[in-house]
Amino acid sequence: MTGEELILGIDFGGTKVAIGLADRAGSLLVTRRLDTDAQAGAEQVVSRALAAARKLLADEGAADRLAAIGVVSPGIVLEDRILLAPNVPGWEELRLRELVAAEFEGVPIEVGTDAKAAALAEWRWGALADTDPAVFLSLGTGIAAAVLVGGRLLAGANGAAGEIGYNLLSPQDTDGFASGAAPLEEAVGGRGLGGRASVLLGRPVTAGELFGLARENAQAKELVGAALDELSMHVANLAIALDPQRIAVGGGLVRSADILLPALRERLARAVPFPPELVSAKFDQDASLLGAIAIALDA
């Protein structure tokens, strides 16, 4: 690497942590990944990630050129806790900015929600460029959407705009969040799909494997079909409410875009008065990491 200033991005996810160094143009120069190991708790995830970030800087001889750090996570990241992030035990009790600041004293740090940051990266450098309004749909371990109007993220009164994982599935879902449920995320998110597939097929199956099996296994195909019917209804309702110009789909499940996107396009075409363009996110698995870079640059 040359002597330019560098930006460090850290993307905490439900199953993996991505760490990267980028230049001020937003180009990722080097990345590292490690498993979240969610069941071992929140503190070990952060400790291992910060140690890996330190090692990355040392390996690249970049510690003295670090200009800013962006950190993204599921949920709403506040100064003293994280809201709406139940997938990793203890995550909601973290003071994420404090923990990072203690490791990188004196370096400017910006924290934010992963899906919203990913939307910003896609608008600035990727599949949502030059579109207004624009929606980023994150389909992975969890389910979330992020909305950009005039290139500005719609945060909502509590930072929770786009948390569609909490959408109700029927009139009988009277409690939803109050009962500790995230109905749509449990129905079509990667964790929920993998769990139901494992019970159905009698062995451990991830959501990604499920989509592959759906090409030849009747039970898997039926499960995927029901999930896509549910998801596409919610995406269509989102498009009706917001009238976006384009929706970009990212997250782990987009690896099965050949099954996922046609189902969403068909529902949009039939149900939405003015169907938006539906595309895969440009950055695929790196959107949230680049989002961390983007919020650091903005700060």
Q: Is the dihedral of CA 151, 236, 208, 93 positive or negative?
A: positive
Q: Which helix (H) or strand (E) covers residue 109, if one does?
A: strand 109-113
Average pLDDT over residues 110-128: 95
Domain membership of residue 123 (yes or no) is no
Q: How far is the first Cα of the chain from the last one, in angstroms, to the nearest whole number?
A: 24
Identify whether 122 is part of a domain.
no
Contact partners, residue 9, CB within 8 Å, separation at least 6: 18, 19, 20, 21, 22, 69, 70, 71, 72, 289, 290, 291, 292, 293, 296
Q: Which DSSP symbol is given to 159?
A: S
**Are residues 83 and 161 part of one domain?**
no
The residue-averaged pLDDT of 286-294 equals 94
Q: Is the peptide bond before 133 cis (omega within 30 degrees of 0)?
A: yes
User: 70 versus 93: which is more confidently predicted?
Assistant: 70
Question: Among 176, 181, 222, which Cα is nearest to 201's?
Answer: 222
Same domain flag for 71 and 15: yes
Residues 271, 143 share a domain = yes
pLDDT for the residue 2: 56
Same domain for 149 and 274? Answer: yes
Are 220 and 168 in the same domain? yes
Query: Is residue 125 in a domain?
Result: no
Whether residues 109 and 166 share a domain: the answer is no
Average pLDDT, the chain: 92
Lowest mean pLDDT among 57-61, 78-82, 181-185, 270-274: 78-82
Domain containing residue 15: 6-117+286-298
pLDDT in tens, 25-82: 999 999 999 988 877 788 888 999 999 999 999 999 888 899 999 999 988 988 788 9
Q: What pLDDT score was predicted for residue 255?
A: 87
- 186-228 pLDDT tens trace: 999 998 999 999 999 999 999 999 999 998 999 999 999 999 9
Same structural domain, 139 and 75: no
Whether residue 267 sits in one domain with residue 138:
yes
Structural domain count, the chain: 2
25 with 113, same domain: the answer is yes
Whether 269 and 294 share a structural domain: no
Per-residue pLDDT at 140 = 86
Q: Report yes or no: 252 and 194 within 8 Å, Cβ to Cβ.
A: no
Q: 133, 147 in Cβ contact below 8 A?
A: yes
Query: What pLDDT, on a 0 to 100 scale, did the predictor assign at position 295?
Result: 95
**Confidence (pLDDT) at 14:** 76
pLDDT for the residue 114: 92
Assigned domain for 124 exists? no
Q: Domain of 48: which CATH number?
A: 3.30.420.40
